[in-house]
Amino acid sequence: MLKKILSPLIAAGFLTACATSPTGRSQLIFLPEAQIDQMGLQAFSDLKKEKPISNNARYNQVAGCIAQAITQPLGGNWEVVVFEDKTPNAFALPGNKIGIHTGMLTLVDTQDQLAAVIGHEIGHVLAKHSNERASQEMAVSQGINMVQAVSQPQTAIGQTAIGLLGVGAQYGILMPYSRTHESEADTIGVDLMAKAGFDPRQSINLWQKMEQASQGQQPLEFMSTHPSHATRIQQLEQRIPQAMGYYQQAQAAGRQPHCIK
């Protein structure tokens, strides 16, 4: 009976939970952002216990330098950790946490290419893609218990809620986003890197390099659900003129990072 009473209220909540992403796209954001952040923090803490952290001073310096340049205008405290893992992967979690594999650092050629990766991942966080994905799942099922479980991540049902958020994949890294989310993160990311003084044209070089690295093999984990290479590059090329405007403004303002790889 309680569920029958609450279901219309939850449904009404869904209808009033509309939000707008940084690109102007309409979103359904239902869950408390503080709880989403807490899940991200917990996942990152677990990841640091389970996965070896790199002691390579150069890798840590480069990753930290680039992340600082991109996040400084955004405010907040962002933690960056380089993990010892040969797979070329990177991720960002709610709660302002960024993880980069050593395999990604060995793949990229320039600071600008790594900035494209970091900008893309930060784009997911800024656009609240984790919350949107979990909210959509809960909206479909009208999972009242799941909504309640968000504040109880240690319970069995709370673990299921975490799985919907995406914190339940390998080592707690977010499960794949939709292609819409990936394309949106590309757009946000290329703007972020340009505003920080990194050359946005290198984002195209990055994805070409990623494509070459995956030839003859299964798609790289980082790209598993991303748009096709041709689609991604075409979309980025369309965005480059605007991003170049941001880049030129950043350069003129003295934002010229030197995070040498």
The confidence score (pLDDT) of residue 10 equals 47
The confidence score (pLDDT) of residue 208 equals 86
The confidence score (pLDDT) of residue 130 equals 86
Q: Mark whether 33 is an active-site residue.
A: no
The confidence score (pLDDT) of residue 169 equals 32
The confidence score (pLDDT) of residue 152 equals 53
Q: Provide the token pair at 97.
A: 């946490």
Task: Express each pLDDT in 91-106 by its tens digit.
Answer: 999 999 999 999 999 9
In the set 79, 121, 132, 211, the catalytic residue is: 121
Low-confidence stretches of the chain (pLDDT < 50) are 1-16, 142-144, 146, 157, 165-175, 218, 221-222
The confidence score (pLDDT) of residue 116 equals 97
* pTM for this model (two decimals): 0.80
**Nearest C-alpha neighbor of 198 from the set 73, 83, 102, 69:** 69
DSSP letters spanning the chain = -HHHHHHHHHHHHHHT-EEE-TTS-EEE--S-HHHHHHHHHHHHHHHHHHSPBP--HHHHHHHHHHHHHHHGGG-S--EEEEE--SS--EEEETTTEEEEEHHHHHH--SHHHHHHHHHHHHHHHHTTHHHHHHHHHHHHHT-HHHHHHTT-TTSHHHHHHHHHHTTTSGGGPPPPPPHHHHHHHHHHHHHHHHHTT--TTHHHHHHHHHHHHHTTSSPPGGGTTSPPHHHHHHHHHHHHHHHHHHHHHHHHTT-------
The confidence score (pLDDT) of residue 2 equals 35
